[in-house]
Amino acid sequence: MAVIGAGVMGAGIAAHVANSGTPVVLLDVVPNGASKRSVLAETAVKNMLKANPAPLMHKQNVNLIKTGNLDDDLGMLAECDLIIEAVIENLEIKQVLDKQIDTVRKAGSIITSNTSTIPLAKLMNGLTDDFARDFAITHFFNPPRYLRLLEVVAGPHTRTDAVTALQTFCDRALGKSVVHCKDTPGFIANRIGILWTTCAIRFAFEDQLTVEEADAIVGRPMGIPKTGVFGLMDLVGIDLQPHVSASMLSSLPSQDMFRDLHQDSEFIAHMIREGYTGRKGKGGFYRMNKKEGKKVLEAINLTTQDYSSSKKIDLNIDEKINLKELVSRNDKYGEYAWSIISKIILDLFSSDPPYSSSLLLIDELKN
């Protein structure tokens, strides 16, 4: 196998492929002025050995990963049966890369994109019929070792046996629960999830909640992992968010709710410019700091951008899923929870924009 793109997701996929006992090639670009031409892939492999949560089941699995770069080592792809592209969420970059792959891959090899939002029809525009027959989308979720969901999208020309081979390998070798999706923007999980994160982040700023308060609410009480929304952004990479939003905005219908809810955030843009991109950067909405020789978890202030020791938030409710109790609270926590849940309900059940006519139904559902 091969994985192209040694970022957080690409490296995680490569590590989990190695966990299955499958040899994998990991390639990335040559950085400008780099003395080591394959430094991005090499650094990604080194980071696998110390990352938490660990992407490798056993450290010796790293020996199954061969590193390289796209300028010097593209020919390695000729040996691969499956090639997964996991580069930045940019249509033009992905299409240029697909054309490069097509010049060296062996006949019948399967190529997939790990895109989270870009429809397959757009990716295939301008590519050959032979490529289209061997192409699909495999959308892994971060971190790939631990999250079982895998969305697979096939195009109208994708070979049936290629889809079967993908499902078999990803199920039996990688331990994934494969869900077949239609070729729509964001597919299934991100179509809902991106709206959810957009609501949660925007309203946290507007309602003047702290990072810790927002994550306590948009977490286990909603059936969401304990990272919450801001912790999740740190995990997947804050710098990914603008690309994902831009991709959705370029594909969604003109009256889609996401367009109304989305707002560019100068606060987040400033974090990205300063290198605060999450766990892979200098920190994010959370960061680990050393005080008096001890590691201290800190959270960012959503007004001042200063960091202070993270505070545990006790909602005084059962942490198991209890949406009714959560949205019925007569305080800022209940209002924040309802502002998010109500938008998701509207998005799921209101198929004919504009959706404002459904607000009475939402009020009744809440009551």
How far is Cα 365 from Cα 343, in angstroms, rounded to an integer?
12
Are residues 173 and 19 in contact, defined by beta-carbon separation less than 8 angstroms? Answer: no
> Residue 318: its pLDDT value, please?
67
* CATH number for the domain harbouring residue 130: 3.40.50.720
- Final residue of a domain: which of 159, 180, 201? 180
> Residue 365: its pLDDT value, please?
47
Instruction: Tell me: do 334 and 286 sit in the same domain.
Output: yes
Instruction: Tell me: do 174 and 213 sit in the same domain.
Output: no
> Residue 358: its pLDDT value, please?
43
Instruction: Tell me: do 205 and 286 sit in the same domain.
Output: yes
Instruction: Tell me: do 24 and 166 sit in the same domain.
Output: yes
Instruction: Tell me: do 318 and 296 sit in the same domain.
Output: yes
Instruction: Tell me: do 126 and 6 sit in the same domain.
Output: yes
- pLDDT at residue 320 tops 70: no
Number of structural domains, the chain?
2
* CATH number for the domain harbouring residue 195: 1.10.1040
Amino acid at 45: V
Instruction: Tell me: do 120 and 251 sit in the same domain.
Output: no
Lowest mean pLDDT segment, chosen from 66-70, 115-119, 313-317: 313-317
| 92 contacts: CB under 8 Å, gap ≥ 6 | none
DSSP assignments along 273-326, one per residue? HTT--BTTTTBSSEEEEEETTEEEEEEE-TTT--EEE------SS-SS--HHHH
Instruction: Tell me: do 158 and 202 sit in the same domain.
Output: no
Instruction: Tell me: do 116 and 30 sit in the same domain.
Output: yes
Summarize pLDDT for 223-277 with one digit per residue, the tens: 787 889 999 999 888 998 898 898 888 888 888 888 889 999 999 999 999 999 9
DSSP assignments along 224-271, one per residue? --TTHHHHHHHHH-TTHHHHHHHHHHHHS-TT-HHHHH----HHHHHH
Instruction: Tell me: do 175 and 63 sit in the same domain.
Output: yes
Task: Provide the residue range defining the domain that includes 232.
Answer: 189-366
- Final residue of a domain: which of 162, 180, 198? 180
- Final residue of a domain: which of 154, 180, 206? 180
Are residues 186 and 139 in contact, defined by beta-carbon separation less than 8 angstroms? Answer: no
Instruction: Tell me: do 142 and 224 sit in the same domain.
Output: no
Instruction: Tell me: do 20 and 129 sit in the same domain.
Output: yes
